[in-house]
Structure 1
Amino acid sequence: NHTLIEKISTESDHFIVAQNMDELLTQMKALDDEKVLSCDNVKAAVSDYDQMLSRGPALWNDDQVRRIQQARAWRSDKVRTCKPAPIVSDKSGPLIAIKLRLISRKSLGGIQTNLQSQVLSSEGAAIPGLYAIGEAAGFGGGGASGFKSLEGTFLSGCVLTARSAIDAIN
């Protein structure tokens, strides 16, 4: 939907559209306040993905691509799910990147932690040197609530709690 892409790219500074990988990475780097983006890692991941697709469906070893193919086996999903294609190709484009802010909305029990992913004692005090992340911390940690949240949002909570633990340990 070219009209939607144009509208979003002009109205949001977190939505980047570029014609090639170098231009995309330059714009992404400009939004990287924490200076964690590795252009070499992005290029390597895109190259690995594109090479994997070039080997043909019988040799696709990416679980996400296999799941897309499985979804496309159903007629209703086939019309709304894109066929796997290389990211960098003469036939593709423009390239789009969206800056996301990881949030945690799940809490499925687990070990009680504070916002630094430190495990709390039954009295509520942080236990020195003990951290819990991801599922062990109920995904959210810090008392995050998962009430009425959507399935498929677990990864951001795992990443968020892991980053909090790393920051606290360092």
Structure 2
Amino acid sequence: MENKINIVASRIDQRLLHGQATMFVKKLNANLVIVCNDAAATDKIQQNLMKVCISSDIGLRFFTVRQTIDLIWKASPEQKIIIIIGNVKDAYDLVMGGVPLTQINIGNIHSSSGRKKLNRFINLSEEESKMLAQMYKEKNVKFSNYGLSTDVTDSPLDWEGILNKWI
């Protein structure tokens, strides 16, 4: 019998887990948060800072991308999981590695050289856009940019239109 993994949300956010986390964990009734980021998985200081954002009755794991791909299949169906992903490349590796993400919320991807501003929170490079397009085309992953916890959000982006130009 196949294990039913109960991923209630996945989000790309360079800030990883932050102050708004408590609100969206409660809103989605999650009982496990996985922070999927190679650097955070080994950085105890960063982990301690993120731990204060989550109630002690919520499970919190810090996994590398590889650990997430390998261990997600051991999740109990009773676990209601939110996966916080540090960047587009990690999300791409998760999806192409078999993690069953069907929707990814894109929160904050900071501005930097070579990135195009899509709205005040999301900036994508050509390479990141192509990775999102490939996930959309090959794995039918849908993307959104709605605020998970508050009304602080920009208007929804036309992700299909954005990604179709890279397909």
TM-score (norm 2): 0.22
Structure 1 or 2: more strand by fraction: 2
Which structure has the bigger radius of gyration? 1
The higher relative CO (CA closer than 8 Å, separation ≥ 6) is in: 2
Structure 1 or 2: more helix by fraction: 1
